[in-house]
Amino acid sequence: MTEPVAYVNGQWGPLAQARVPVLDRGFLLADGVYEVIPAYAGRMLRADEHLARLERSLAEVRMGNPHTRAQWLDLLGRLIRENGGGDKMVYLQVTRGAAAGRGHPFPENLPPTVVAFCQPLPLPSAEMREDGVGVIAVPDIRWSRCDIKAIALLPNLLATQAAKEQGCNEALLVRDDRVTEGASSNVFAVLDGTVATPPKNNEILPGVTRDLLLELLRGAGVPVQERPLGLAELRRADEVWITSSTREVLAVARVDGQPVGAGRPGPLHARAWALFQDYKRRVLI
Ligand code: PDD
């Protein structure tokens, strides 16, 4: 294994030695946004959609985009090459930069901090894919701008850790008896042959994998609905899935220890998974 290479503000070097100043507002105040883009055999999937979401996140927190779309694609392409290609989770983060001291107001004319690195893509194991995973339901204690991919992730981390401690793969977040999304994924339920997922609004991150899957399901003639999902509804669904850039589309076998449907990945999950794999083959090869 060659040493992972990172990008920090125009400089390339070993990830383990990559540094930003203590005064960086990302470190002090979580004043920044990020993206996670999957790459297969060295090529990014839906890079334009991820970069469009980055632009939107930056605009919503009133930060400029330090790079054009073409510059981002060059930078991330080089990052993947420098790291030997293959299946990668590409991570990028932009913060409001490092000022002369700590303060809440936005400093003027501060250059942003741009960091990018990658790791092996942590796709679900064959066992998780074949058997499905367990999830827990926990209260959604996040702010009301979950549509922004902000680096401030404490509520998500607490939920993820609670899931892990209960031997589960993900925590589903519940607001007013509705399941909004997972701590790091979007959620789908199959009820009476229809696939339902919560609508895109301020309560969820507009997942790139979510949108892609909806597009593929619609294209295949599978009935889909974007609508609020009650927790009670989810508990009696025939199938539940979660989607993300690192999980693709993963079946949920248990919610709070209770089986979902037959307690195994269902037939529509198999269809969705096959559509996703087929799409990857079509666009990446
Ligand atoms: N998380 N919802 C939340 C809260 C997320 O953090 C993520 C992704 C998603 C799925 O979005 P996408 O399909 O675009 O990956 C939904 C990434 C993978 C992470 O933080 O590691």
Over the stretch 162-214, which tens digit does the pLDDT of each residue have? 999 999 999 999 999 999 999 999 999 999 999 999 999 999 999 999 999 99
Q: Is 209 in the pocket of ligand 1 (CB under 6 A)?
A: yes
Phi and psi angles of residue 84, each rounded to the nearest 5 degrees, phi first: 85, 10
In angstroms, the first-to-last Cα distance of the chain is 25
- Per-residue pLDDT of 248-279, as tens digits, reads 999 999 999 999 999 999 999 999 999 999 99
| Residue ranges of the chain that CATH labels 3.30.470.10 | 5-120
Tokens at residue 237, please? 């669904």
Domain at 5-120: CATH code:
3.30.470.10
C-beta of 213 in contact with ligand 1 (< 6 A):
no
Tell me, yes or no, if 149 is annotated catalytic: yes
Percent of the chain at pLDDT exceeding 90:
99
Report CA(1)–ligand 1 centroid distance (Å): 27
Reply yes or no on whether the pLDDT at 1 is more than 90: no
Which CATH superfamily, name and number, covers 126-284?
D-amino Acid Aminotransferase, subunit A, domain 2 (3.20.10.10)
* pLDDT of amino acid 238: 98
pTM for the whole structure: 0.98
Kindly report, as residue ranges, where domains of CATH 3.20.10.10 are found in the chain.
Answer: 126-284
Please work out whether the CB of residue 57 comes within 6 Å of at least one atom of ligand 1: no
pLDDT, position 57: 98
Query: pLDDT-derived band of residue 2, with 50, 70 and 90 as boundaries?
Result: confident
Taking CA atoms only, the protein residue closest to ligand 1 atom 18 is: 245
Ligand 1 atom with least separation from CA of 183:
4
Torsion of CA 258, 261, 266, 268, to 10 degrees: -120
